[in-house]
Amino acid sequence: MKSEFTERAHRLPAHGLGLSVDVYSPDLLELVRALRDAALEPDYLEIFKATTSAQQWMRQQLPDLKLTYHGEGLWSTQPEFCRSGSGRQGVAEACAQLAALRSAWLNHECATKQMAGYAFGTYLPPLYTELSARMTAENVAYLQSQVDQDAHRREIDPALVLLEMPPLTYFGCGALPIPDFFRAVTDQASCGLVLDIGHLWTVYRYTGSWQRQRLEEFAAQFLDAFPMERVIEIHVAGLAELTIPHASGIDASGNALPYWIDAHGAPIPGVLFDLLAQVLSHPGLTSLKGVALEVDTKPIAMIVEEFKQFRERFGTTVQAMLHRDSPAPVQPQRSPNARSAERRQLTSEEEATLQQQYRHYVQLVTTQDDLSSIRNLSLLGGSLDDLNRYRETYLPHELLHWGGELQDMFPDTCRALTESDVPLDRFVAVWFSKPRPEQDDYDFFLLKIDRFVEFATHACPTAAMIVMREAEELRAAYRQANEPIGSSRVRA
């Protein structure tokens, strides 16, 4: 695995200091103009999934810029990934967009928004267990083979698949420490990795480490255990509290710590740039090709200012790292059982066990059952209070307000529900009441429309005609907004 990765990584050109962006939010060409006006042209742009025609158009508009691809909808942590229709469709779309951008890599969160037939609006991290790491490695190897075959057909250089360590939104689940999980994946697959500095902060915050160690100490230990030699790209994005600030905790040095979560539109806190400096000085970081600020949904003026500061502080260091003579590849520390796990596919029993664990995971995060009733699952060191924050605050917010405010989407239906004394938050329980057959293409906005129609017609039959009319209007407006180069996803 190491030599295949090393060979692929060696072929990737240095990308430099870039931005991870969205085609529309903010308008990408407007952003590039603003950066050029400020003499701050980025070395590369990593563009989030849009339509293939939008990516082709961007390629034409920005002919001299390196463009890379941030995929979405490839749920490679999940047991169904290789055989599902949505998996196959997602892979085909990703290949088309990689080709459109002429991207050197395919970055994807090592996370999912669909699990055991249940859909979520934002990413959930994988189960951090040995079995789950093996499943992920198997799926990522499949994904890479599909990307390679497609590139061969198109006669282009194949992109390297990168897995990004996802954020924790208040909790993590499983007993395998996160660096060990990624070590187990890279022991079995030749993928690269993306290390997101804000995500790393959330691991410190929501695995309980903040109560025992200072951030620098935690990061030093984490980075020593993490497969740093596989890190191709580093991301830095904003962090913010969800809504009203909660009462903050107290860390080992007596300072209050906020309940920050990943928030690309929010300012990047200074603590993350200090953490970036620590990461860049780690001797294991031998394959780095690019460092990007992730700035979708952020105001252009703030992006320009942050990119300026970022370049001033890190430009020379990063360029020197990317253009130094490649050191001898560091021999990765293999996990003790790596040799026996290598290339060993999951048996059907193991896959069934993992599927069952993911059903339990859904139960854990969506219901108020206590942990003892859910077998074989543990928190990754955080507190039950933090899991409850996800269940009671984040999840309802995601379904009622995020990716489409229900009150704005369905004003007449919401009025009818209020008149019939049907509380809107009942929608959350209905959403998770049963697993659904596989969706062809994950689209949270369209999913939300379909489910809300079901909910409203069932909870308030007199509102049936109203909700169907409003739903049809929304779908029509959405189709129109997505032509000719529209996006079909909400990023988080």
Give the binding site for Fe ion (CB under 5 A): 196, 235, 294
Residue among 111 and 414 whose Cβ is closer to Fe ion: 111
Residue among 80 and 294 whose Cβ is closer to Fe ion: 294
Return the residue nearest Fe ion (CB atom).
235
- At 480, phi and psi to the nearest 5? -65, -40
Quote the least distance from Cβ 294 to Fe ion, whole Å: 5
Residue among 294 and 398 whose Cβ is closer to Fe ion: 294
Quote the least distance from Cβ 196 to Fe ion, whole Å: 4
Quote the least distance from Cβ 107 to Fe ion, whole Å: 8
> β-pairing, 160-164 with 231-237?
unpaired
Tell me if residue 262 falls in helix, strand or coil: strand
* Radius of gyration of the chain measured on its C-alpha atoms: 22
Residue among 147 and 295 whose Cβ is closer to Fe ion: 295
Residue among 159 and 474 whose Cβ is closer to Fe ion: 159
Q: Among residues 80, 167, 70, 185, which one has the least CA distance to residue 124?
A: 167
Quote the least distance from Cβ 243 to Fe ion, whole Å: 22
Residue among 98 and 406 whose Cβ is closer to Fe ion: 98
CA atoms of 269 and 304, how far apart (whole Å) = 15
Quote the least distance from Cβ 117 to Fe ion, whole Å: 27
> β-pairing, 160-164 with 239-240?
unpaired
> β-pairing, 290-294 with 231-237?
parallel
426-432 long-range contacts (CB < 8 A, ≥24 apart) are 426/455, 426/459, 427/399, 427/400, 427/451, 427/452, 427/455, 428/395, 428/396, 428/399, 428/400, 430/454, 430/455, 430/458, 430/459, 431/399, 431/455, 432/118, 432/362, 432/366, 432/367
4-10 long-range contacts (CB < 8 A, ≥24 apart) are 4/190, 5/186, 5/190, 5/191, 5/192, 5/230, 6/287, 6/329, 8/160, 8/190, 8/192, 9/160, 9/192, 9/232, 9/287, 9/289, 10/326
Quote the least distance from Cβ 492 to Fe ion, whole Å: 11
Residue among 107 and 139 whose Cβ is closer to Fe ion: 107
CA atoms of 74 and 76, how far apart (whole Å) = 6
Residue among 22 and 196 whose Cβ is closer to Fe ion: 196
Residue among 45 and 449 whose Cβ is closer to Fe ion: 45
CA distance to 71, 72, 99, 157, 236, per residue, from 52 (Å): 12, 13, 9, 18, 26
Residue among 79 and 192 whose Cβ is closer to Fe ion: 192
Tell me if residue 448 falls in helix, strand or coil: helix
Quote the least distance from Cβ 207 to Fe ion, whole Å: 18
Residue among 80 and 196 whose Cβ is closer to Fe ion: 196
CA atoms of 399 and 169, how far apart (whole Å) = 15
CA atoms of 43 and 241, how far apart (whole Å) = 31
Quote the least distance from Cβ 239 to Fe ion, whole Å: 12
Residue among 169 and 366 whose Cβ is closer to Fe ion: 169
What pairs with residue 219 in β-bridges?
none
CA atoms of 125 and 408, how far apart (whole Å) = 30
Quote the least distance from Cβ 417 to Fe ion, whole Å: 37
Quote the least distance from Cβ 460 to Fe ion, whole Å: 41
- At 93, phi and psi to the nearest 5? -65, -45
CA atoms of 201 and 216, how far apart (whole Å) = 11
